[in-house]
Chain A
Amino acid sequence: MRKGVRTSILAFTLICLLLTTSCGVRPENNLIEEIAPVIFWYVKKGENKNLKISTAVPPILKEKKQLFSLQVNLLKQGAKDFNLIYYREMKVGQLRMIFIDEQVAKKGIAKIVDSLLIDPDTSQRLFIVIVTGDFEGYLKKQMKDKENAEYYLYRMLKHYEDQNQGELTPINLHEYKKMLYTPYTDPYIPVFKADQQNFSYEGTAIFKKDTLVKTLTKMDDQVFQLVGTDNYLKYLAIPKLSVVLGRVHTAVDFNLNSSYSKLFIKVKMMGRLEDYQGENGMNDKNIEKMKSTIEAFMEERTKKLMKKMQHMHTDPFQIGTHTITPFGKTLTDKEWYKKWENMDIDVKYELQLGPLPRESK
């Protein structure tokens, strides 16, 4: 008898456990045939203050792809409305990328990002990307031509994240939020430009809190990748001096004086000569000369970029964090920005070039 009671309690517990895991008690239905796990959202400005959000379905299945777009007031409202117009239920558990149009970003994206952060289904490794141009057109074209175009976009971002290579710096939700909420730092996000044919890297968008204030392109972007991030550049192209440096690593040293009125930036840059199309021959003397020209050029560009940042009251280089010491008081966010805007900046580059593969003449 005692055994019977014990067995029945055990059986009942097991049944209850099973019930909570799958059927009954209103769980969510995740039958693979009936759902569409979307892997990206594209958010764009719609008509009269609305947002227009788009996604491609079905993401992986071998079925004809469609691009859905909806006019909504709220991001998550889009998630609901998509379900109502499509025969599969959309799931956000596999969401990997969010593309935000530049126009929306200029208005501020904190609310969009917040709504993603609340959802426990959404991974913190979600990539945030700013796009300009006709991204919808690009997607439509790609869907006709090849399978899983959006998946390859994800692989691209993932590739650069893993390699930590400065060609571009993918930013995920966690990194963005951390930059947004930490004092003295402003976020940055990579920018892509889309048209019917191409989806090409443009540069880095610099934010003031959550609003886009400036897109750094070409040379500015390269300087930013070298000085502002931990990355290395595979190629540093300086067309003006007809030179390309390869595998450029930097060690950056920010030095603030005690009253925070002067900033010394010392950049130690290591790389090798990859390409030189100039008129001077490559002998030791000319290389020495070239080195100092590159140094002077980089110093000037960096200084200019810093001035620009000061002018826009933003600090994506996170220089403010260098005021923090293990013991002692820290400045408030406001105090820092006030000091930052009026700071004198001095930049010093030191370039080390690796040996040339051939004997120079």
Chain B
Amino acid sequence: MKPISLFQKNMPIKAVTVFFISNRFQVIFFLLVFPQYIAHSYMIWFIIALGILSQGNLYILSKWISSSYSTKGYAGFIELFGEWKVRILTAVALLPILVKLSVLTINFVSTTRYYIFPSVNPSWLIFVFLLMSMYVAIRGMENTIRFSIIAFFTVIWIILLFLPFYFPPNAAWINLFPLTHSWSQQTWKGILFIWATLSGPEYLICLIPWLKQDQKIVKYMTWANIVTVLELLIVLIASLLFYGHHYLLLIKYPYIEMTRYLQNPIFERIDIVLIAFYLFHLVFMVSILLLILYGAMRIIFKKVSKETTRKGFLITCVITTALIIFLNQFLWTNERQYKTWMNIEVVMSGFTYLFIPSFLVICSKIKRRRR
């Protein structure tokens, strides 16, 4: 059998792809869950404020990306930390990656199950879903990164469907008021959630070696960030106008329920069509994460210098699938556990986004000074 080369670099990918990857990584979380503590109109201000803050963080991230360590890829990390430390750090990083992977998969599968296949076994859906992602991932890192463009364009137009909700009789402007609120624990949760939604670009750290070196990367990340903030605002305001704050709290998937309310002479169930489109987005996310996971495994087991093998990748995938099915069956069975997992994911992705870029930049600064 000819060996497969998952991580081969044939042709550097244009830097504009950063925009697609970064933006899709950011919005995904919000699309799947619309948490109840963000269903207030005063959250509009926080989305804007955190969007600006996130921009600062992206600037730090771009500092790392343009540094000499980053462009060297794995060798750069070895140079910076030493092999042992890299292995330990990678092992630690497995946790957020696995949690992200499981939360995304299980959330998407349970949404699909609720709307389309209510009587199908969830394990089966998880299996099929991961199989699709595996198929994309096995094409190699380069192709998967390029898939982000498809993922972006299959989903972005959906935002247009929310425009009818800005006009009467669907909308009532009074629903948007009052725009202020007293500070409470809910506010903190909302802020944390919005920050977690804006997280995601930190995964670019793993993808930099495949991208063409370009000074414009920071520009593309900025645009991605702006589009994300706009998307969040459009959806949040539309749902507030349509439902009003009090009723919105009772709706679990307003994002899908709202599109369902639109009338179409051809498809009655617009929600089903939309979920099928979101599948592209999800498959892209999960396939990238699977490849990153496989890369991490290779670092931990000291296989970096060897060829990538089909067997190794499949083992990684099988373990992941088994883990997710196990989680879904035993640790994701009721509403309380669901909330716990969501909180874990929110805290973890918020944490990684906030600290990893600064951590890397500080480490490289210290290293350079010691020299």
Name A's B-contacting residues (CB within 8 A).
Answer: 1-2, 5-6, 9-10, 12-13, 16-17, 20, 25-28, 93, 120, 123-125, 164, 174, 177-178, 181-183, 230, 321, 324-330
Q: Binding site of A, secondary structure by majority: helix, strand, loop or mixed?
A: loop
A9-B135, A25-B120, A182-B246 as given contacts; A123 in contact with B268, CB under 8 Å: yes
Indicate if the CB atoms of B117 and A20 lie closer than 8 Å.
yes
Given contacts A1-B2, A26-B119, list 8 more A-B pairs with CB under 8 A. A1-B1, A2-B2, A124-B257, A181-B250, A182-B175, A182-B246, A324-B178, A325-B178
User: Which residues in chain B, 147-190, are within 8 Å of chain A measured between CB atoms?
Assistant: 168-169, 174-175, 177-180
Q: Shortest Cβ distance from B61 into chain A, in angstroms?
A: 35
Residues in B with CB closer than 8 Å to A181 are 244, 246-247, 250
A71 to B120, CA, bound (A): 31
Indicate if the CB atoms of A2 and B121 lie closer than 8 Å.
no
Indicate if the CB atoms of A328 and B120 lie closer than 8 Å.
no
Q: Which of B2, B115, B174 has the most CB of A within 10 A?
A: B174
A286 to B127, CA, bound (A): 81
A260 to B260, CA, bound (A): 39
Residues in A with CB closer than 8 Å to B333 are none
Indicate if the CB atoms of A327 and B179 lie closer than 8 Å.
yes
A326 to B4, CA, bound (A): 60
Q: Shortest Cβ distance from A91 into chain B, in angstroms?
A: 12
User: Which residues in chain B, 114-131, are within 8 Å of chain A measured between CB atoms?
Assistant: 114-115, 117-121, 124-125, 127-128, 131
Can you name the residue of chain A whose Cβ is closest to the Cβ of B310? A5
Residues in B with CB closer than 8 Å to A26 are 119-121
A2-B1, A25-B121, A124-B261 as given contacts; A182 in contact with B178, CB under 8 Å: no
A123-B268, A178-B243, A183-B246 as given contacts; A25 in contact with B124, CB under 8 Å: yes
A328 to B180, CA, bound (A): 7
Can you name the residue of chain B whose Cβ is closest to the Cβ of A183? B246
Q: What is the size category of the interface that chain B forms with chain A?
A: 35 or more
Can you name the residue of chain B whose Cβ is closest to the Cβ of A28? B119
A183 to B175, CA, bound (A): 11
19 A-B residue pairs with Cβ-Cβ distance under 8 Å, sorted by A, are A2-B1, A2-B2, A5-B310, A10-B135, A17-B128, A20-B125, A25-B120, A26-B120, A27-B117, A120-B118, A124-B257, A124-B261, A178-B243, A181-B247, A182-B247, A230-B169, A326-B178, A328-B178, A330-B178
Residues in A with CB closer than 8 Å to B168 are 230
Indicate if the CB atoms of A16 and B128 lie closer than 8 Å.
yes
Residues in B with CB closer than 8 Å to A330 are 178
A328 to B138, CA, bound (A): 56
Q: Determine if B68 is an interface residue (Cβ-Cβ < 8 Å).
A: no
Indicate if the CB atoms of B260 and A124 lie closer than 8 Å.
yes
Q: Determine if B50 is an interface residue (Cβ-Cβ < 8 Å).
A: no
Q: Determine if B263 is an interface residue (Cβ-Cβ < 8 Å).
A: yes
Can you name the residue of chain B whose Cβ is closest to the Cβ of A4? B1
Residues in A with CB closer than 8 Å to B243 are 178
Residues in A with CB closer than 8 Å to B310 are 5
Residues in B with CB closer than 8 Å to A120 are 114-115, 118
Q: Determine if B132 is an interface residue (Cβ-Cβ < 8 Å).
A: yes
Q: Shortest Cβ distance from B309 into chain A, in angstroms?
A: 13
Residues in A with CB closer than 8 Å to B260 are 123-124
Indicate if the CB atoms of A324 and B174 lie closer than 8 Å.
yes
Q: Shortest Cβ distance from B130 into chain A, in angstroms?
A: 11
A182 to B257, CA, bound (A): 18
Residue in contact with B247 in the complex, picked from A6, A9, A16, A177, CB distance below 8 Å: A177
A93 to B131, CA, bound (A): 31
